[in-house]
Amino acid sequence: MIKVKIYKVEKNITKSELLYKVYDNLYDEDKGYGFKIINNSEVLELRFTMRSISKQNLEYANGEHSEVEIATYLNVDFGIRQGKKIILYAINPPLSMKVPYAMVQKIFGEDSGLKPVEFDLRKVVNGLSEGFDLKIKSMSLSNIPVDPYTLAKTKIVSSKNLQEIYQDKYLNCSAAFDSVHFFVNGIETELSRTGRLRVRESQLPTLLSILETL
């Protein structure tokens, strides 16, 4: 399974405009960062690369020292789905997306309103249960009231479908849903409220289309 971070825009941009900006920001070895076009088809697939250089001191057997530069490369793959509600996704993103996000935002333009998708997982579960075959395997919740001074967090896991437990105990409670692991129409995924998900790569297009119906 792959990890995916998804994004949306407020203002659409044409594919020709996107490509123009991509070509203007292709990877340059002198700069040490930029994009490469992996696939230009229905989904425009890009790879952002950023080079980092660190220095390391080496000591040899004869007692001499030398300093060497070591280059490491960060690669982040993006998919751009033109004209879709979920227009952009990043595959296996690093924990910090600050630089890759800033660069892809440069391609879309600051006035595009590009931002991560945030989910109300209750609405997601409710919507999927109405139109699709949904089986909940686990739920992570926080801000669960224990007493006036105490809040708790928990993860509920079961080999059975948790949908009935969700409807009976958590549908209308004040606890916050942080993530949910479920099968929808046979597609296994784990979805977080911050717009990160896990899914098999071959099933990603279908899952994104399902999420766009909500």
Domain end (from 82, 100, 116) = 116
Are 128 and 106 within one domain?
no
Are 78 and 169 within one domain?
no
Are 169 and 126 within one domain?
yes
What's the number of domains the chain is made of? 2
Are 178 and 88 within one domain?
no
112 phi/psi in degrees, rounded to 5: -75, -20
Tell me the pLDDT tens digit for each residue of 98-148.
999 999 999 999 899 999 999 999 999 999 999 899 999 999 999 988 888
Tell me the pLDDT tens digit for each residue of 149-186.
998 899 999 989 998 888 888 888 888 899 999 999 99
Helix axes 98-108, 15-23, angle to 10 degrees: 120
DSSP E strands in the chain: the ranges are 2-8, 33-40, 43-59, 65-81, 88-91, 115-116, 134-147, 150-157, 176-184, 187-192, 196-199
**60: in domain:** no
- Domain membership of residue 166 as a residue range: 121-211
pLDDT at 63 over 80: no
Are 164 and 150 within one domain?
yes
pLDDT value at position 85?
A: 94
- What count of Cα atoms within 13 Å lies in the side-chain half-sphere of residue 165? 12
pLDDT value at position 167?
A: 86
Are 13 and 108 within one domain?
yes
Tell me the pLDDT tens digit for each residue of 19-54.
999 999 999 999 999 999 999 999 999 999 999 988
**62: in domain:** no
